[in-house]
Amino acid sequence: MLEDFINAIQNFKRNKTRTILSLLGVIIGVASVIVITSMGNSSTKQVQDSFGSNGLDVINIRAGYMRRNRDAVTLVFDEKFRNDLFNNVEGIKHIWYKNTLSSTITFGETSATTSCAAIEYGYLEMYNMELEAGNFFSVTDIEKGVQKLIISRDLANDLFPMGDALGKNVMLVANNVTFGFKIIGILKDQTTGMETSTAFIPRGFYAKKIKPNSPADNVLVQVNNAKEASQMVTTLSTYCRSITGTDSVRISSMQTMLEQMSEITNTMSVLLAAVAAISLLVGGIGIMNIMIVTVTERRQEIGIRKALGATPNDISQQFLIESASITIVGGLCGIVIGILTSLAVEGFRKMAFVISFEACIISFVFSVFVGIFFGLNPALRAAKLDPVAALSS
C-alpha cells in the first residue's frame, strides 16, 4: 500500500493541472464545513459571553396579561406566594422579590434617567456582582428601608464626570416624588445576566415610601443546580397555571434562552454544513471522471502489471489508493484553509475564534470516504481489463 501511495503521488506530479482540479472540490467542501461550524460556534460563544455565566441558575417570574376567564385567579407576589412556592416546589435554593421603576437621579445640575430596582438582601451577591468601591446593602438596610443607593460604573460616570461618586447624596425622583439617597456602592463593569438595572435601592424603602405594601413585580427563583433551570421553568409554569387557571404568568430563564439560541445556531450550522458537504460529492464525481480517464490512459501499464502477475485485487487497490490519496491531500489542505479562513473572518468580525475539531475530523473522514466510494468504479474497471486487450491498445 505504501508503494501504491508513492506511485499515486508521483502520478499527481506528472498531471499537476488535473490533480489541482480534482483537489479543488474536496478542498472547498472541507474548508466550507469547517468555516461554517466555526462561525456557528463563535456566534454561540459570543451570545453566551454577552450574558455571562452569572444568573444561569436564576428563573424570572412575572405576571403577564390576564386572559378573559371568569375562573382565573390573579397571582399576587406576596409573602404567602413565596412561602407556598418554596414549600410546594422542590429544587429551589432561594426566592427573591424585586420591584422595578423608572427614576431620575440628580446631583447638582447633572441628572440621569435610569431603571432602578428595589431589591432584597443578597440579590446582588446572588448575581455575583462585584463592587468597585463601597459596600452592599446589609440586612438592616433592607428591613428598615434606609435611603441608600448602589449604582453602576456607567451611571456614576454620567452623574459624576469628575469622579468621587461614593458617599455623595443625590436626589431620586420616582412617581413624581423626590427622595434623598446616599450612594454607598459602585458596581464594577461586568455582565450581569438578565439584570439590566443600573441603580439599586432597598426593597424595604420601596414598600414603605414609594408604593406602600405593594406586591413584587418580579420573583427571582434560584435553583440548586443551573442544569436544572430549564426543567424548573416547566415545573414553575405548571405550578402557576394550577393557581391561576391560565397561562398568564411569564416565566423565563437565561439558561433556557441560551439553550434555545444554541439549538437554533447549531441547527443552522448543521444545515449549512450539509449544503457545503454537497460540494464534496460534486468533487467526488469529478474525481471519478478523472480516474476513469486515468484508467483509459494507463491501459498498457495495467496490462504490463497483469502480465507480470498482478492480481485484479492488486490493480483495484492501486487505483483505490490513488483516488483516496487525492481526497486525503485535499482534506488536509481543506482543514488548513478552513482554519485560516475562520481565523481571518472571526478576527475581522472581532469574535472569539472557536474551532470544532469534531467538524475537522468528520469532514476529513467524509472526504476520504468520497474518494474511496467514487474511486471504486474506475478501480473495478481497471481490475477487469483483459491484459492482452490492454497491451494491444
The pLDDT value given to residue 147:
95
Q: Report the share of the chain in percent with pLDDT over 70.
A: 89
pLDDT above 60 (res 30) = yes
Q: Specify the higher pLDDT residue, 15 or 252.
A: 252
Model confidence at 138, pLDDT cuts 50, 70, 90, reads very high
Q: Report the share of the chain in percent with pLDDT over 90.
A: 28
The pLDDT value given to residue 118:
95
Judged by average pLDDT, the poorest of 20-24, 56-60, 113-117, 382-386 is 382-386
How confident is the model over 13-40, as a mean pLDDT? 80
pLDDT above 90 (res 140) = yes
d(CA 390, CA 298): 9
The pLDDT value given to residue 205:
94
How confident is the model over 340-368, as a mean pLDDT? 81
Tell me if 86 sits within 8 A of 92, measured CB to CB. Answer: yes
pLDDT above 70 (res 358) = yes
Tell me if 5 sits within 8 A of 321, measured CB to CB. Answer: yes
Average pLDDT, the chain: 82
Q: Report H helices in 15-159.
A: 16-51, 79-88, 123-126, 139-144, 153-159
| pTM, full prediction | 0.65
Strand partners, 131: 187
The pLDDT value given to residue 288:
81
Cell numbers describing residue 238: 405548571
108: left (phi > 0), else alpha (psi -120 to 50), else beta? left
Strand stretches in 292-370, DSSP E: none
DSSP letter (8 states) at residue 106:
E
Cell numbers describing residue 221: 427563583
The pLDDT value given to residue 179:
94
How confident is the model over 136-161, as a mean pLDDT? 93
pLDDT above 90 (res 298) = no
**What is the per-residue pLDDT across 167-211, written as a single tens digit (0 to 9) for each?**
999 999 988 889 999 999 999 887 656 677 889 999 999 999 998
d(CA 213, CA 358): 57
Model confidence at 7, pLDDT cuts 50, 70, 90, reads low
Comparing CA positions, the residue from 239, 235, 252 lying closest to residue 75 is 239
Instruction: Tell me the backbone φ, ψ of residue 244, rounded to 5 degrees.
Output: -85, -25
Strand stretches in the chain, DSSP E: 58-63, 92-107, 110-119, 131-134, 148-152, 169-174, 177-187, 199-202, 218-223, 249-253
The pLDDT value given to residue 69:
55
Judged by average pLDDT, the poorest of 59-68, 124-133, 151-160, 238-247 is 59-68
d(CA 343, CA 336): 11
Q: Specify the higher pLDDT residue, 352 or 116.
A: 116
d(CA 270, CA 196): 33
Most confident of 65-79, 262-276, 299-313, 358-372: 358-372
d(CA 121, CA 33): 50
How confident is the model over 284-292, as a mean pLDDT? 78
CA distances from 301 to 105, 296, 366 (A): 89, 10, 31
**Cβ of 340: how many Cβ atoms within 10 Å?**
13
**What is the per-residue pLDDT across 38-96, written as a single tens digit (0 to 9) for each?**
887 787 777 666 665 567 788 989 876 555 555 556 788 989 999 999 999 998 999 99
The pLDDT value given to residue 119:
94
pLDDT above 80 (res 237) = yes
**What is the per-residue pLDDT across 243-286, written as a single tens digit (0 to 9) for each?**
887 777 888 887 777 777 777 777 877 777 777 777 777 777 77
d(CA 244, CA 21): 67
Give, for 337, the enclosing helix (H) or strand (E).
helix 312-348
β-strand pairing of 249-253 with 92-107: unpaired
